[in-house]
Chains A and B, each alone.
Chain A
């Protein structure tokens, strides 16, 4: 009986204690709006847009920071005449209103592309382009869709002819890159040719003198260099998250509360802590631009994507890479390509995307496999076995509330695109 009474009292006290811990814990956490440790604060600052260094130089493109080149590139970016059917511009899939993406699982132009359209905003900071890093510069990347039969579906000889025959483009091109070659002799420079799967175009290309092929490649590369000069100016602007970090740094609680709601702060805590997002989504662009296998399931009907494993082989063989004859870089400038990591751990690995481009860019992942942010978080909570290679991520023990908090935080990273010098939309 006494033992029973004591037991009941113990239970009661424990319950009161638990309730008190809950209540005071909540009060404490609400009052501790800015209670970040010094190392947490250092992490927050490392993620802030204020920590973003100036756009790194692109030595493989001597005109990367030339304003006239950027202006020409902007015109080309929005011009559907740069396609096989006259209807596809870069902006067809990289739509400014959708943060330079298209809202589709896989890009659709003349046909359907292999993967999801990535945003261009902030890409100037990445040593690698594409989900599989098969390109190592913005300018070199810009060339590939132009000749892809599923995308712009054209050929380099026709593009070079177009620039040479359009009076406005001809003048702009020559202002930036110098005199265009004389292409009047159609026996040397046929109307259409390129090293493409199409047998007729390929045969025309191979029939050309190697010197003439090189001449055409130089102008073609310059088209890419102009587009790259435009694209590198597309940068993310400051978000609510950045305002919050500044308020924390300033110790201004009112501004902290104004910038982020408690659930968003809780999500941020998870982001840099238990959810381990910061492992790969680090730095002010919230990406390490590296390649990771996180066990994303294959797109329905597709074989598992080998990702970086194949991408590295392609960039090695690409004549438009940093070490190639059309690059303006010295060997020393091409460290990323020369010292790229190889090996089977790259099977199924794709590039970490920036989280500053989440708003309006669903569906997510390299083939748009996950329709919403909630699906993305769910994927990392589960961390399923990879279909190919090895999933680097481990399952996360996040409650329903925590998943919602994490999603709420991710939404605070939204911000308009910042565009120094040239405009975002069609000229």
Chain B
């Protein structure tokens, strides 16, 4: 295995571990252009295989203010296997300012997944990729 790939694998494993550990962390993830900070709270913890569940997404600006009324779309998949999610999750409501309920999340294989969350809010459009390790 080339050294570069080793490093990538190591990083993805580290990222995956961090993903599991901080799925519910208050500081959360920063989007790629730095516009938003997002925390995710899955309704089932640890995330099980083959069970549909919800995630609560908490979206803030870089300055820490809740982002209200954003349009959020979510895709996901297993990069290693080149396939997507078995379901089509959607944000169905915003129960309070900056909190978005994502429904219809299910993972049908063990291993490393990525959830790509695209946020279109007042600051602009930005994306965050959240690593998820399903065991």
Binding site for B on A (CB under 8 A): 42-43, 46, 127, 278-280, 282-283, 288-291, 335-336, 338-342, 345, 392
How extensive is the interface on chain B, given as a class? Answer: 10 to 19
Say whether B42 faces chain A, with CB atoms less than 8 Å apart. Answer: no
Residue B117 at the A interface, CB < 8 A? Answer: no
Given contacts A279-B109, A335-B103, contact A341 B85 (CB under 8 A): yes
Minimum CB distance partner of A125 in chain B? B50
Instruction: Choose one: A43, A335, A345, A392; the contact of B104 (CB below 8 Å).
Output: A335
Alpha-carbon gap, A291 to B108, bound state (A): 10
Q: Give the distance in Å from the alpha carbon of A340 to the alpha carbon of B86 in the complex.
A: 8
The prevalent SS among residues of B at the interface is loop
| Set of chain B residues within 8 Å of A338, measured between Cβ atoms | 103-104
Q: Does B21 contact A (CB under 8 A)?
A: no
Kindly report which residue of chain A lies nearest to residue B135, judged by CB atoms.
Answer: A42
Nearest-neighbour CB distance to chain A for B94, whole angstroms, equals: 16
Enumerate chain B residues within 8 angstroms of A345, measured Cβ to Cβ.
83-84
Asked if B32 lies at the interface with its beta carbon under 8 angstroms from chain A, I say: no
Contact: A288 with B49, CB < 8 Å? Answer: yes
| Bound: A341/B77 CA distance, A | 12
Interchain CB contact (< 8 A) of B88 among A42, A290, A340:
A340
Give residues of chain B (96-111) contacting chain A, Cβ–Cβ below 8 Å: 103-104, 108-110
Q: CA A342 – CA B88 in complex, angstroms? A: 8
Partner of B52, one of A280, A288, A336: A336
9 contacts between A and B (CB under 8 A): A127-B52, A278-B110, A279-B81, A282-B49, A282-B50, A288-B108, A290-B86, A290-B108, A291-B86
CB of B90 within 8 Å of the partner chain: yes
* Chain A: minimal CB distance from B69 (Å): 22
Is the pair B52, A283 in contact by a Cβ cutoff of 8 Å?
no
Query: How distant is the Cα of A345 from the Cα of B84 in the complex, in angstroms?
Result: 10
Would you call B88 and A46 a contact (CB within 8 A)? no
- Is the pair B87, A339 in contact by a Cβ cutoff of 8 Å? yes
Interface residues of B in 39-84 (CB under 8 A from A): 49-50, 52, 81, 83-84
Interchain nearest-CB distance for B82 vs A (Å): 9
Q: How far is the CA of A278 from the CA of B108 in the complex (A)?
A: 11
The CA-CA distance from A42 to B49 in the complex, in Å, is 13
Pairwise interchain contact A392-B87, C-beta atoms closer than 8 A: no
Answer whether residue B28 sits at the interface, using C-beta atoms and an 8 A cutoff. Answer: no
* B43 CB, min distance to chain A CBs, angstroms: 11
Instruction: Enumerate chain A residues within 8 angstroms of B109, measured Cβ to Cβ.
Output: 279-280, 282, 288
Q: Which 7 A-B pairs have the closest CB atoms?
A: A339-B104, A288-B108, A290-B108, A339-B87, A335-B52, A290-B86, A341-B88
In the assembled complex, how far is the CB of residue A179 from the closest CB belonging to chain B, in whole angstroms?
Answer: 36
**Among candidates B87, B110, B135, residue contacting A340 with C-beta atoms closer than 8 Å:** B87
Q: Does residue B19 face the partner (Cβ distance < 8 Å to A)?
A: no
For A279, what are the chain B residues with a Cβ–Cβ distance below 8 Å?
81, 109
Partner of B89, one of A43, A127, A339: A339
Q: How far, in whole Å, are A291 and B86 apart by their CA atoms in the complex? A: 8
**Which residues of chain B are within 8 angstroms of A278 by Cβ–Cβ distance?**
110
Contact B87 A283 (CB under 8 A): no
Indicate whether A341 sits within 8 Å of B86 (C-beta atoms), given known contacts A46-B110, A278-B110, A288-B108.
Answer: yes
With CB as the reference atom, state the residue of chain A lying closest to B105: A339
9 further A-B contacts with Cβ under 8 Å, apart from A279-B109, A336-B87, A341-B85, are: A288-B49, A288-B86, A289-B108, A338-B103, A340-B88, A341-B86, A342-B88, A345-B84, A392-B83
Chain A residue nearest to B82 in the complex (CB): A392
Nearest CB in chain A to that of B54: its residue = A335
Shortest distance in angstroms between A319's beta carbon and chain B's nearest beta carbon?
22
Give Cα A336 to B85, complex, Å. 13
Distance of A282 Cα from B110 Cα, bound (Å)? 8
**In the bound complex, CA of A16 to CA of B110 (Å):** 42
> From residue A312, how far is it (CB to closest CB) to chain B in Å?
11
A289–B84 alpha-carbon span in the complex (Å): 16
Closest-CB distance, B53 to chain A (whole angstroms) = 8
